[in-house]
Structure 1
Amino acid sequence: MSDPQLKKVLGPVMLWGLGVGYVISGMYFGWNLGLAEGGTLGLAIATVFIIAMYLTFTFSYTEMACAIPKAGGAFEYANRGLGKQLGFVAGITQNIEFVFAPPAIAAAIGAYLNLLYPSIDYLTFAIGAYVIFTSMNILGVKLAASFELVITVLAVVELLIFAGVTLPEIKFSNLEHNALPNGVSGIFAAIPFAIWFFLAIEGIANVAEETINPQRNVLIGFGSAILTLVVLCVITFLSAVGVAGWETIVYPPGSVEPSDSPLPLAIAQVIDSSHILYKLLIGVGLLGLIASFHGIILAGGRATFEFGRVGYAPPMLGKVHSRFKTPANALVANMVVGVIALFTGKTGEIITIACFGAICLYIISMISFFALRRKEPDLVRPFKVPLYPLFPMTALVIASVCLVAMMYYNPKIALVFASLVGLSYLYFLLFLGKDKKAKL
């Protein structure tokens, strides 16, 4: 009996929409919390290193995605390059990233809508978002990707409008003010929030199996998405901080609690809150959150599906819906875990757990890259990373430094993450069928 197969319907434009959409909420919220840790200069330095990591990682990852276009992404590459045990670890870190990022974004969506409708609890909105967008993903990947493309384009346009309003008003004195409040240590403490700018871009690889001519289109999708995101990151950072200093986009007036809405706080320094552009930013900003929420649900469903398909998770997770040809069971399972995480109310901690999953995924992926180059030199690689071995080694070194820094500044969350991986690995060792163990 052949493995369940996903339907090939995605082209390069939809891949760009997915890649940018996975990430774009990171421009709208979350990153400004890194300013409280490192100030303008501390977060800027951390972001420069993270951009270098993502650029070199993305092009290295693209080589593997084009050569091995499977829904499991990093899990497939590690499984093939490093063996089934490290393949399992890569897969579980990927699943942690894609399962724990959506509840953090859902909480932001719920909090935003709660401001508009305070009589309705934010959890109601957050859970409603889960049900709606999980259902949309079950109905078909083309429908999901088309929707993602539309709201991503709107979210990008809104960021450009925001920059157009604020950039003429920036002053370099605002960028220089209290630029490194916590010294060098603030740079390392800001790393998770710099990662949040780009978290989940690698999700493009998880839809490679549903891509028309993946050997060509995955490269176009990855390359165009990461370049778009780097430009948006730079202009959003400079235009938001430059209008009145970093404190104004971290702390609302009269509050000592950090805000999840840095862009409205920034644009309020330039135009009145009754202005149509201010209202437009608020409205389309919600679409930025929805784009990432919906997109990561899509990618996460594929990662969990592949885990089930190869027998590393309950087989029911590896089933394809008979009518819609989508990983419906995996999508529903991820939603259940996400909703449970929502009820903890620990949004910041959930973000950091997702970042731990991402960084570990990047490290294992780059080790897998070198292993595949050595073990399978004749593997057909439609795209080869430029400046080999500099690019993958740069990504590996920066990711490793990030992991150490995150463990140092977040020891309790690191322990929670390690427990999740450790318990999952124990399950892998104890409960896999003998036929799987025999292949180890």
Structure 2
Amino acid sequence: MEERILSRDNTKETHLVGGIDVHAESQAYLQKRQLRSGTAGWVLLAGLGVSYVVSGDYSGWNFGLAEGGFGGLTIAVVIIAAMYLCLVLGMAELSSALPAAGGGYTFARRALGPWGGFATGTAILIEYSIAPAAIATFIGAYVGSLNILGITDGWWLYLAVYAIFIGIHLCGVGEALKGLFTIAAIALIGLVIFVIAAIGRFDSANLVDIAPGSAAGASDLLPFGYLGIWSAIPFAIWFFLAIEGVPLAAEETADPQRNVPRGIIAAISILMVTCAAVLILATGAGGAASISESGNPLVEALGDTTVAKVVNYIGLAGLVASFFSVIYAYSRQLFALSRAGYLPKVLSVTNSRKVPTLALVVPGVVGFLLSLTGKGALLLNMAVCAAAVSYVLIMLSHIVLRRREPEMHRPYRTPGGSVTTGFALCVAVIAVVGTFLVDVVAALCCLGVFVIFLLYFALFSRHRLVANSPDEEFAALAQAQEDLR
């Protein structure tokens, strides 16, 4: 790799590396961009992982029944659950070897270079910036339907939830993670209550009450045929979407090389159990045809009962948990990209509590404006498309690093190695294509935003990267080791 010193002054040394300009910033620069370390253990990280995803158990997945029926959605869920398990096992290894706030961006930067790192970080940032906007519209609809203190759905409610939860995050990561853990625990209790109540209402005939169509392979179990399985994949993703954000907490975790892998594996284990219980019992209790169009499938499955009302109120906690946690995720991804110079550096400055203020506020403003469209389904499909793209790049990074750097220190190693992550990579590619089958407008909108970010990097920020940011140092260390061979 070509490396040439372009200039040197008292604080910076600029290099040209493979056509990318990098320079070392002063210590004062990095001191203004520090997170509070040692805040979280693996239990809090597991809670963070669950809170990212738990709203998907309460709503969203059920629309997949309208695409594939119970059989099609179930097959899609099995495939996607296997993909996420392999993805998590791969990310557990990567996070133990490269514990930094960049998460997937850090991994891809080491494996795929600046372009691959930025592309991965951008895909994750798009996912996490858009998802809260969609969840905000769901929170508004939920609050309006529950008639809590006469509060109605509207723009001011979206503004309030953004302001309240961004404000809590600004108070400090410890306070935020403990709040997330509490809300996630409440949401899980709601799921336990639902499971107990739904068992008594379960009827296997309800699983296949959608009339078969004329598509190839159509049957009672697959009413929309074989293609319905593929179309249901984006909705199956909703059961696990965003769990990949756990490694973003690495710099704020005590002993991250040990605790991040434990936390993310514990989270996926819990979510696989809740996914299976909700899919089978909600469909069997409420009927596939009925809940396939419901905005509140668990409540509809339980009918007009007292337990349904309890689950309805707790469901709001599930939405809040995911909204709250994804705000954390987008701020850390933006923080890491900004600190390394890929995005405007001012966005990574932290306050007195070691929290990146603008990295919390700026995407919050963008998300609030997106929520005003009221197009929750479109926004969710955009988030799913961006997530699937990031999965492809992260799993490719694992495979590349396994082959190129077999001696890298890995406190945790993925069972099955590249075979495991290779499976996740293949399914993620299928999922990317599947997003176009469900909503081509959403997929094209996502790719349009992605291209805009890449143009920004090509024309501007690739000349302003920070060599001594943690993520760039990981990559520089790898290059130095390669040069010594």
TM-score, with normalisation over the residues of structure 1? 0.94
Change (3 A) 1:205 1:437: closer
Number of the residue aligned with 1:397: 426
Aligned partner of 2:223 in structure 1 is 181
Counterpart position of 2:235: 193
Q: How does 1:97-136 map to 2 (within 5 A)?
A: 97-115=127-145, 116=147, 120-136=152-168
Q: Aligned residue for 1:242?
A: 284
Task: Check whether the contact 1:23–1:198 (CA below 8 A) recurs between aligned residues.
Answer: yes
Query: Could you say which residue in structure 2 is the equivalent of 1:33?
Result: 63
Alpha-carbon separation, structure 2, partners of 1:58 and 1:30: 22
Judged with a 3 Å threshold, the aligned counterparts in structure 2 of structure 1 residues 129 and 192 are, in CA distance, closer, same or farther, namely: same
Root-mean-square deviation (CA, aligned residues, Å) is 1.7
Distance 2:227 2:464 in 1: 49
CA contact (8 A) 2:195 2:277 kept: yes
Equivalence map 1:138-153=2 (5 Å): 138-153=170-185
Distance 1:437 1:139, change over 3 A: closer
How many angstroms apart in 2 are the aligned matches of 1:374 and 1:17? Answer: 33
Residue 330 of structure 1 aligns with which residue? 359
Q: Give 3-state SS (helix, strand or coil) of 1:32's partner.
A: helix
Q: Name the CA distance, whole Å, in 1 between partners of 2:374 and 2:464.
A: 41
Aligned twin of 2:193: 161
2:338 to 298, 302, 308: 308
Q: Distance in 1 between matches of 2:79 and 2:332?
A: 29
Distance 1:327 1:377 in 2: 35
Match of 2:98 in 1: 68
2:122 is matched with which residue: 64, 68, 92? 92
1:395, distance to aligned residue in structure 2 (A): 0.4
Residues 342 and 464 of structure 2 are in contact (CA less than 8 Å); yes or no, is this contact kept in structure 1?
no
**Any conservation in 2 of the 1:66–1:219 contact (CA below 8 Å)?**
yes
Q: Which residue of 2 aligns with 1:418?
A: 447
Larger mean CA deviation between 402-411 and 131-140 belongs to 402-411
Q: Secondary structure at the match of 1:169?
A: coil
Q: Deviations over 1:376-405 (max 9, x none)?
A: 222211100001222101100111111122
Q: Distance in 2 between matches of 1:309 and 1:233?
A: 37
The residue identity in structure 2 corresponding to 1:381 is R
SS at match of 2:200: helix
Report how far residue 122 of structure 1 moved: 2.8
Q: Distance between the aligned counterparts of 2:295 and 2:110, measured in 1?
A: 40
User: What is the Cα deviation at residue 437 of structure 1?
Assistant: 11
Unaligned runs of 5+ in 1: 251-257
Q: What amino acid is the match of 1:241?
A: T
- Alpha-carbon shift at residue 119 of structure 1 (Å): 6.2
Report the CA distance between 1:203 and its aligned residue.
0.8
* Mapped contact 1:101–1:354 kept (Cα < 8 A): yes
Q: Give SS of 1:216's match.
A: helix
2-structure distance, mates of 1:435, 1:30: 41
Using the alignment, how far apart are the partners of 1:121 and 1:164 within structure 2? 31
Please tell me the residue identity of whatever aligns with 1:144.
Answer: A
Aligned to 2:246: 204
Q: Distance in 2 between matches of 1:337 and 1:369?
A: 32
Q: Given the alignment, which residue of 35, 44, 58 partners 2:74?
A: 44
Decide whether the 8 Å contact of 1:113 with 1:122 is kept in 2.
Answer: no
* Corresponding residue of 2:34: 5
Deviations 1:204-257 (A, max 9, x none): 01001110001111111011100000000000111101114212223xxxxxxx
Closer, same or farther: CA 120–176 of 1 in aligned 2, 3 Å: closer
- SS of 1:406's equivalent in the other structure is helix
**Secondary structure of 2:61's aligned partner:** coil
Following superposition, the deviation at residue 170 of structure 1 comes to: 1.1
Aligned pair partner of 2:316 in 286, 296, 303 = 286
CA contact (8 A) 1:81 1:368 kept: yes
Match of 1:374 in 2: 403
The answer to whether the 8 A contact 2:287-2:301 is kept is no
Q: CA deviation at 1:278?
A: 2.3
Q: Is the 8 A contact 1:307 1:317 kept in 2?
A: no
Counterparts in 2 of 1:120 and 1:202: CA distance versus 1, 3 Å: same
In structure 1, distance between residues paired with 2:132 and 2:151: 24
When Rg is computed on C-alpha atoms for both structures, the one with the higher figure is: 2
For the pair 1:225 / 2:257, whether they are aligned, the reply is no
Q: What does 1:252-271 correspond to in 2, within 5 Å?
A: 258-268=293-303
Identity rate of aligned residues, in percent? 39
> Alpha-carbon deviations, 1:232-290, whole Å to 9, x = none?
0000111101114212223xxxxxxx32100110011xxx33x2x22211111110111
Please say if residues 299 and 309 of structure 2, whose CA atoms lie closer than 8 Å, have aligned partners that are also in contact. Answer: no
Amino acid at match of 1:339: F
Aligned partner of 1:253 in structure 2 is: none
Following superposition, the deviation at residue 435 of structure 1 comes to 4.9
Unaligned segments of structure 2, at least 5 residues? 1-25, 211-220, 476-485
CA distance in 2, matches of 1:375, 1:315: 31
Cα deviation code 1:14-44 (max 9, x no counterpart): 1011000000000001111111111111111
Deviations 1:109-130 (A, max 9, x none): 0111122156633322222111
Return closer, same or farther for 1:339/1:180 CA change in 2, 3 Å cut-off. same
Structure 2 residue 373 is the aligned partner of structure 1 residue 341: no
Deviations 1:130-165 (A, max 9, x none): 110111111111100001111111111110110011
Query: Paired residues, what number?
Result: 427
**Partner secondary structure for residue 44 of structure 2:** helix
Aligned residues of 1:113 and 1:125 also touching (Cα < 8 A): no
Per-residue CA deviation, residues 316-350 of structure 1 (Å, 9 max, x unaligned), is 111111x1101111000110110111112211110
Relative to 1, partners in 2 of residues 1:241 and 1:408: Cα closer, same or farther, differing over 3 Å? closer
| Counterparts of 1:244 and 1:302, CA distance in 2 | 39
Shift in Å, 1:362 = 0.4
Distance 1:428 1:329 in 2: 20
> For the residues of structure 2 that align with 1:367 and 1:162, how far apart are their CA atoms?
39
- TM-score of the aligned structures, taking structure 2 as reference length: 0.85
